[in-house]
């Protein structure tokens, strides 16, 4: 016996009215993970490849290369001391042959992280303050008459102050007379470096670094009891990596230049000392690495030495020095095991493994040919009372075709199922949502 349509419709209306509160109730829903084993070899292969990639990244890059388990100090304190040794002889115009040693060609003589080595020079000896013609190599000093030489006006890029006279410098050039150091500077440069022997000079570099975070210090000078070791050794990256004595010729070649070309007009070479210390290993493994690079060409400056004659008149010898400037910079880092970076690296690895699973889920649910099937199997909705979701037992057991034998208890069970379904927010998917059809009404 089937129940009247009016009773069924009344119960359904109550359930639909309750459905209006379902969206708010959905805010309290809880989602949990459901694991489903899929026999899809393509997605399975992708998952294993992603896992292998993450594992290789963690073991190869994070742990072995970057040492992600270590705390690091990348700002070491450094001190540099340098010393040049060697001797050369060269002719100085007006002063004869002169011997050059470390006190002459090394500037500053006490050494430091910036050092200048003289390789060529122009000497102007016997200069005294007085009047003389300006050099014709100075455009602002050229003249055709006294009107071109305003008294008291400095010569732009010149050597003194104009006296107001235009005089003959030689048989072909007239220049303004100046008050300055006379005779004016000689600008004739030798075609070959005057201190060509400088390529065999040696540069001693003593470098000490201190990593304050770990209270660790290290020096590049080998600790040895042999007093003759540093008198005979020369740095070689393969044979003598612990010898801090460098041959100038080798340093210039390591920078990609030839000594003859660089020594003629001067230049600048950068010396980089790199310390990479793993403090989880013995301190003897902490050794510096040296590299050399050309920074600039053409480097020179002027200097003078002063003296008095027997008449107490002041003279000087002016030197325009060309040479190689060495700029020494120290860089480095030290690392030591620490639990915090190790935990961070481990957590990052776990997160990457989880990302591999997410990627495979996206492929399975959106890109696979059977995505709809996997979607239905992966996601399932359950009520708190344990009632089955719409489309399963509830609809099959209670909302079958009314054949005249449906008892009152069965109808009440069906209506209760519909009401609970609507309250849970399943809406039109609930069993009995279309019960008004002729098939449901029966006789």
Q: Is 202 annotated as a binding residue?
A: yes
Cα–Cα distance for residue pair 366/82, rounded to 1 Å: 67
Cα–Cα distance for residue pair 145/211, rounded to 1 Å: 69
Q: Is 362 annotated as a binding residue?
A: no
Expressed in angstroms, the distance from the first to the final Cα of the chain is: 8
How many other CB atoms are there within 10 angstroms of residue 280's CB atom?
12
Nearest to 259 by CA among 326, 205, 324: 324
Task: Tokens for 385, please give them.
Answer: 């009372």
Residue 376 backbone zone (phi > 0: left; psi -120 to 50: alpha; other: beta): alpha
Q: Three-class SS of residue 374?
A: helix
Q: Are strands 267-278 and 288-297 parallel, antiparallel or unpaired?
A: antiparallel
Q: Is 302 annotated as a binding residue?
A: yes
Cα–Cα distance for residue pair 72/330, rounded to 1 Å: 17
CB 330 within 8 A of CB 76: yes
Nearest to 328 by CA among 246, 264, 257: 246
Residue 355 backbone zone (phi > 0: left; psi -120 to 50: alpha; other: beta): alpha
Q: How many residues comprise the chain?
A: 443
Nearest to 195 by CA among 113, 125, 106: 106
Q: Are strands 267-278 and 314-337 parallel, antiparallel or unpaired?
A: parallel
How many other CB atoms are there within 10 angstroms of residue 5's CB atom?
13
Q: Is 84 annotated as a binding residue?
A: yes
**71 bridge partner residues:** 336
Q: Is 225 annotated as a binding residue?
A: no
Cα–Cα distance for residue pair 209/78, rounded to 1 Å: 4
Task: Tokens for 228, please give them.
Answer: 């003759």
Q: Is 320 annotated as a binding residue?
A: yes
Burial 75-84 (b: 16+ CB within 10 A, else e): ebebebbbbb
Cα–Cα distance for residue pair 377/371, rounded to 1 Å: 10
Cα–Cα distance for residue pair 334/317, rounded to 1 Å: 50
- Mark the binding-site residues, compressed into ranges: 83-85, 202, 300-302, 320
Instruction: List the binding residues for ATP.
Output: 83-85, 202, 300-302, 320
């Amino acid at each position: 016996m089937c129940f009247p349509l009016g009773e069924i419709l009344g119960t359904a209306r109550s359930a639909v009215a309750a459905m209006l509160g379902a969206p708010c109730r959905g805010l309290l829903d809880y989602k949990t993970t459901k694991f489903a084993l899929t026999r899809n070899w393509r997605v399975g292969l992708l998952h294993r490849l992603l896992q292998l990639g993450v594992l290789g990244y963690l073991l190869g890059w994070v742990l072995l290369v970057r040492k992600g388990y270590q705390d690091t100090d990348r700002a070491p304190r450094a001190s540099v001391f340098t010393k040049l040794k060697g001797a050369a002889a060269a002719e100085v115009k007006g002063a004869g042959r002169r011997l050059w040693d470390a006190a002459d060609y090394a500037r500053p003589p006490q050494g430091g992280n910036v050092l200048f080595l003289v390789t060529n020079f122009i000497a102007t000896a016997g200069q005294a303050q007085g009047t003389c013609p300006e050099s014709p190599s100075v455009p602002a000093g050229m003249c055709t008459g006294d009107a071109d030489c305003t008294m008291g006006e400095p010569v732009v890029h010149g050597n003194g102050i104009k006296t107001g006279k235009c005089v003959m410098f030689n048989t072909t050039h007239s220049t303004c007379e100046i008050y300055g150091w006379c005779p004016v500077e000689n600008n004739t440069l030798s075609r070959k470096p005057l201190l060509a022997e400088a390529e065999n000079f040696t540069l001693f570099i003593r470098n000490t670094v201190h990593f304050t975070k770990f209270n660790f210090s290290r020096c590049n000078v080998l600790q040895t009891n042999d007093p003759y070791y540093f008198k005979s050794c020369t740095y070689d990256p393969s044979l003598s990596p612990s010898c801090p004595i460098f041959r100038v010729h080798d340093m210039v070649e390591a920078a990609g230049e030839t000594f003859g070309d660089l020594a003629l007009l001067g230049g600048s070479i950068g010396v980089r000392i790199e310390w990479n210390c793993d403090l989880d290993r013995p301190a003897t493994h902490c050794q510096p690495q040296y590299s050399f690079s050309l920074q600039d060409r053409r480097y020179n400056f002027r200097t003078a030495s002063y003296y008095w004659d027997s008449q107490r008149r002041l003279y000087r010898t002016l030197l325009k020095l060309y040479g190689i400037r060495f700029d020494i910079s120290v860089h480095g880092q030290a690392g030591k095991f620490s639990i915090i970076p190790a935990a961070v690296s481990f957590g990052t690895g776990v997160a990457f493994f989880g990302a591999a699973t997410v990627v495979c889920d996206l492929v399975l649910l959106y890109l696979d040919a059977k995505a709809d099937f996997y979607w239905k199997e992966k996601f399932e909705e359950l009520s708190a009372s344990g009632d089955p979701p719409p489309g399963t037992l509830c609809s099959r057991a209670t909302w079958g075709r009314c054949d005249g034998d449906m008892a009152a208890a069965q109808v009440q069970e069906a209506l209760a199922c519909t009401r609970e379904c609507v309250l849970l927010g399943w809406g039109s998917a609930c069993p009995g949502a279309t019960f008004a059809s002729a098939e449901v009404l029966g006789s």
